[in-house]
Amino acid sequence: MFASASKAQAGYLSEVLAGYRGVPLSGFMPIRTEIDPRAAMAEASAHGRVGVPVIQATAQPLKFAVWTPDSPMVSGPFGAEVPAALDYFEPEILIVPLLSFDRRGGRLGYGGGFYDRTLEMLRAKRATLAIGFAFAGQEVAAAPLEETDQPLDLIVTETGVIEIG
């Protein structure tokens, strides 16, 4: 269903997610030139709930709507697609898009703070794994960090897995 490039990009992500079969997770719908996690999301959806983020309002945590490979999608805020039918749930794993990352788990996003607020909220309730997913070329020596930034636990690129810590 998804291009072979997507499968190649998401190969390591699929391997990581295989260790968490059945754990509810959220991926993301790629925008602009983002790496594409949909092949790994499709594989994970055969074993448990998979969702995508939905922006409800500025300065609010994200909500997550159930996604399947055949979900009808509509355009959402910031150009990312969201399911036409919004069935919300709380994931325990977030696959996080980013502009850049460093090997300490720092990430630079698009500046809205949505993932930081969301991870803070989810981590206050239960252990929540944040997996950064990006191209290897997006790595920087040190991502600019703010006090409110939530760290990534793991980073996956098209060339491998980077353990944090």
Query: Has 43 been labeled as part of a binding site?
Result: no
Q: How confident is the model at residue 3 (pLDDT cuts 50, 70, 90)?
A: very low
The 10s digit of each residue's pLDDT in 98-123 is 999 999 999 999 888 999 999 999 99
Q: Record the tokens describing residue 151, joined without a space.
A: 């760290």
114 marked among binding-site residues: yes
In terms of CATH, what superfamily is 4-163? Answer: NagB/RpiA/CoA transferase-like (3.40.50.10420)
Is residue 34 annotated as involved in ligand binding? Answer: yes
Residue whose pair of structure tokens reads 């269903």 in the numeric block: 1
Q: Are 150 and 115 in contact (CB under 8 A)?
A: yes
139 appears as a binding residue in the annotation: no
Binding site annotation covers 111? yes
CB 76 within 8 A of CB 45: no
Q: Do the annotations mark residue 109 as ligand-binding?
A: yes
> DSSP string of 73-100?
EEE-GGG-EEESS--EE--SEEEE--SE
* Annotated binding-site residue? 115: yes
Residues 6+ apart with CB under 8 A from 24: 48, 49, 50, 51, 89, 90, 91, 92, 93
Tokens of 48: 């448990």
pTM assigned to the model: 0.94
What pLDDT digit, counting tens, does each position of 26-83 carry?
Answer: 999 999 899 999 999 999 999 999 999 999 998 999 999 999 999 999 998 777 899 9
Break the chain into its structural domains and give their ranges.
4-163
Residue 83 token pair: 């399911």
110 in a known ligand binding site? yes
Distance (Å, rounded) from C-alpha 67 to C-alpha 45?
A: 8
18 C-beta neighbours (distance < 10 Å), count: 12
160 annotated to a ligand binding site: no
